[in-house]
Amino acid sequence: MRPVAEGLRLLAAVSLGAATALVDMVFLVVALPFLGTPNTRAAARRLVLLETRRLRLDATEFDVSGRAPRYLALRVPAGLLGGLVVGLLLLGVVMVGRLAWAWASGDTFDGIAPTLPILLYFTLAGFLLLFLNLSGLVGVYSLERRLAQRVLGPDPTERLERRIVELAESRAGIVAAVDSERRRIERDLHDGLQQRLVALSMLIGRSRRGRPELLNQAHEEAQQALAELREVAWRVYPSGLDSLGLGEALAGVAERSSVPVKVSCELAARPPMGVETAAYFVVCEAVTNAAKHAGATLITVDVHREGTMIVVRVEDDGRGGATASGSGLSGLARRVAALDGRFELVSPTGGPTTIVAELPCE
C-alpha cells in the first residue's frame, strides 16, 4: 500500500504544480511592472512558500524573498511539462476505459473489433506507455525540487562556508562540554565521595582507640561511599550500555531515579555507539534535572526511530521554567549538535517540561 500511496501523492503534487504554474504565469505577466513594490514581493513570496510546501522542502533554508520572481519564472515551464505528463496519463486511462467497454459490450473500438490479439497488443503497449508516463512524473517532480534548491538555496561556496562555521562551533562546543563534565565529576568526587571517605577514616581511627561501637557506623559510611562511587562511575560512562544496550541502560536510570520514570525504547536495531551514548546522556541529564529541580512526580521517556533519526523525548510534569542556558542542558545541546542532531527544550512556567533530541543514525 505504501508505493501506491506515494504514487498518488506524487501525482497530486505534479497535478497541483501544473495548476500553480498557470497561476504563477498569470501573476508574472500582471505584476511584471510592479515587481519592486513591497506588496508584489510579498505576494511572490507567498507563491514560493506554497511551492516549497508542495515539494516538501524546508523554506527556512532558502532565500525566498530575494529570489522569488526569478524562481517563479523558471518553474513555469517545468509545471506546464508536469501538466502535459498528467494529461497524457489521463488520456491513457480514458483509452483503456473505452477499450474495456468495447470488449465487454461487443462494440468496435474506433472501427476496430477488439479481438484477443488486438487486446494483447494494446495491453503491452499500455504497460509500456504507463511506465514511461510514471517515469515522467518522477522526473518532473525531481526536476522541480532541484530547480527550487538551485535557485532558492545557497550557492555551494556559501553552503561550504556555513558548514565550516557549524563545524568550528561544534568543535568548540565539544571542548566546552568535556571541560564542563570534568568539572562536574571533580565536584562529585570532592564534595561527596571524598568527604564521606574522610569521615569513614575518622570513624575507623576512633574505633581503634577503644570505641568498637563505631564500627557499625563506619560500615554504613563505607556502603554509602560505594553507592556514590557507582553513581559517579555511571555518570562518567555506563558500562551496561555496551553489553546490554540502550533499553536496559535506560531501565537502570529509571531504577535509580527518586521520581517514577516510565521508559519506552522501541528500536529494531542498535544505533551507532556515538548516537546510543548521546541518547543515554540526554535521558540521564533530563531525568536528573527533573528529579532535583522541577518537583516532578512522573517522568516519561520515549525513544524511537523516525526515518534516519533516533528521536529521544523526555517529558516531566514538574513546575517548568527550565532554560537551555544551564550547564547541564547546554552541555546536552552541544553533545547533540556535535552529531549534527537537533535539540529542543520546551518548558513554560507551570510545566510541563519537554526535551526532544533528534540524532542522525545514518
Q: How far apart (Å, rounded) are the C-alpha atoms in residues 240 and 329?
A: 23
Question: pTM here?
Answer: 0.48
User: Residue 42 above 80 pLDDT?
Assistant: yes
CB 356 within 8 A of CB 313: yes
Q: Determine, yes or no, domain membership for 129.
A: yes
Q: How far apart (Å, rounded) are the C-alpha atoms in residues 45 and 61?
A: 14
Task: Quote the mean pLDDT of the chain.
Answer: 79
Q: Determine, yes or no, domain membership for 124.
A: yes
Domain region containing 105: 2-153
pLDDT of residue 358: 92
pLDDT of residue 132: 85
Q: pLDDT band at 127, cuts 50/70/90?
A: confident
Q: Determine, yes or no, domain membership for 159.
A: no
User: Residue 356 above 80 pLDDT?
Assistant: yes
Over residues 113-121, the mean pLDDT reads 69
Q: Are residues 138 and 254 in the same domain?
A: no
pLDDT of residue 99: 74
Q: Determine, yes or no, domain membership for 161.
A: no
Q: Are residues 248 and 232 in the same domain?
A: no
Q: How many domains does the chain have?
A: 3
Q: Are residues 282 and 230 in the same domain?
A: no
CATH of the domain at 292: 3.30.565.10
Q: Determine, yes or no, domain membership for 164.
A: no
Which tens digit of pLDDT belongs to each residue from 253-281? 888 888 899 999 888 888 888 888 888 88
Listed residues 153, 187, 210: the one ending a domain: 153
Q: Are residues 282 and 226 in the same domain?
A: no
CB 292 within 8 A of CB 320: no
Q: Are residues 197 and 310 in the same domain?
A: no
Decide: helix, strand or coil at residue 80: helix
What b/e sequence results for 162-172 when a residue is b if at least 16 CB atoms lie within 10 Å of its CB, and e otherwise?
A: eeeeeeeebee
Q: Are residues 218 and 260 in the same domain?
A: no
pLDDT of residue 163: 72
Which tens digit of pLDDT belongs to each residue from 74-112? 889 999 998 898 888 888 888 777 777 777 776 666 666
Q: Determine, yes or no, domain membership for 158.
A: no
Q: Are residues 135 and 227 in the same domain?
A: no
Q: Are residues 133 and 80 in the same domain?
A: yes
Q: Are residues 191 and 285 in the same domain?
A: no
